[in-house]
Every structure is written in structure tokens, then in C-alpha cells.
Structure 1
Amino acid sequence: MAKGYWIARVAVNEQALYDEYRRRNAVAFAKFGGRFIVRGGPFEGLGSSKPHNVVLEFPSFEAAKACYASTEYQDAKQYLLRGCEVDLVIIEGYDGAQPA
């Protein structure tokens, strides 16, 4: 079964609200098996970008979607939306053949 991913690009406008979002989102991420693959850090923008980038891995695409829809995440999300500009994609991973 393919894993699921959240790919987020974030511009933080109010750090205190983003800090509260991060404190609260941990509950949802733990419940649904979310694991950070990328959590900020240096990057090279090739086109439009935002200053903070995050990739979360979930055990499945269904778990990634369920996390987003959960009460726990919706509680956290209000702080994200009030303090940041965010682009978020929830996507299914690929389990097929790879280049040789």
C-alpha cells in the first residue's frame, strides 16, 4: 500500500499563532502516524515558493486524509489560517517501478 503525504509551503505572518498551531497539530499527527520528512530548513526555490516547507509522511493516503479531516487537526488549523499563508497538497505516494 502506498504511503500518503502532506506537502505544505508556508509563509508565517504571526509567529505566536504558528507556534500554537505546531503545538496543537502534534496531537493529530501522532494519532494518524504522521512523520516529518522535511520540516523547514534551507532550500533552493525554483519558481514561486514560500519561506517554510514541510513534508509529512503517513502510513497511507487514507490516513493522511483522515488526519486532515480529524477534530484534532481542525482545532490546530484555525491557528495556521489566522497566522500564515499556506499551500497544502495531500497526495498518495508511488509504489510502482522505478528507473533502472
Structure 2
Amino acid sequence: MAKGYWIARVEVKDPSLYDEYRKRNAIAFAKFGGRFIVRGGPFEGMGTSRSHNVVLEFPSIEAAKACYASPEYQDAKQYLLRGCEVDLVVIEGYDGPQPG
């Protein structure tokens, strides 16, 4: 079964609101098996980018979607939307043939 992913690009406008978001999102991520693959850090933009990038892995696309819809994440999300500009996609991982 393919895993599910959140891919987020974030521009933090209010660090205190983003800090509160990060405290609260941990509850939802733990409940649905979320695991950070990328959590900020240095990067080289190859086109349009934002200052903070995050990739979370979930056991399945269903878990990734359920996490987003959960009351725990919706509580956290209000801080994200008030303190940041964000682009977020929830996407199913690829589990098929690879090149070569």
C-alpha cells in the first residue's frame, strides 16, 4: 500500500503563531502516524519557493486525509492560517515501477 504525504511550503509572517501551530499539530500528527521527512532546513530554490518547506509521511493516503480533517489538526490550523502563508498538498505516494 502506498503511503500518504503532506507537502507544505510556508512563509512565516508571525513566528509566535507558527510556534503555537507547531505545538498543537504534534497531537494530530502523532495520532495519525505522521512522520517528518523534511522539516525546514537549508534548501536551494529551483523556481518559486517559500522560506520553510515540510514533508510529512503517513502510513496511507487515508491517514493523511483523516489527519487533515481531524478536530486536533483543525484546532492547530487556525494558528497556521493566521500566522503564515501556506501551500499544502496531500498526495498519495507512488508504489509502482521505477526507472532502470
TM norm structure 1: 0.99
1:60 maps to which residue? 60
Q: Any residues of structure 2 matched to 1:10-49 within 5 Å, and which?
A: 10-49=10-49
Give the distance between the partners of 1:92 and 1:43, measured in 2 at CA: 24
Aligned amino acid, residue 47 of structure 1: G
TM-superposition CA deviations, 1:16-66 (whole Å, max 9, x none): 000000000000000000000000001110111000000000000000000
Segments of 4+ in structure 1 off by > 2 A?
none
Task: Specify every segment of 5 or more residues in structure 1 that has no aligned partner in the other structure, as ranges.
Answer: none
Once the two structures are aligned, what percentage of the paired residues are identical?
Answer: 84
Give the distance between the partners of 2:45 and 2:62, measured in 1 at CA: 30
Displacement of 1:69 in angstroms is 0.1
2:5 maps to which residue? 5
Displacement of 1:7 in angstroms is 0.1
SS at the partner of 1:86?
strand
Aligned amino acid, residue 24 of structure 1: R
SS at the partner of 1:10?
strand
Count residues in correspondence.
100
Displacement of 1:67 in angstroms is 0.2
RMSD of aligned Cα (Å):
0.3
Aligned amino acid, residue 33 of structure 1: G
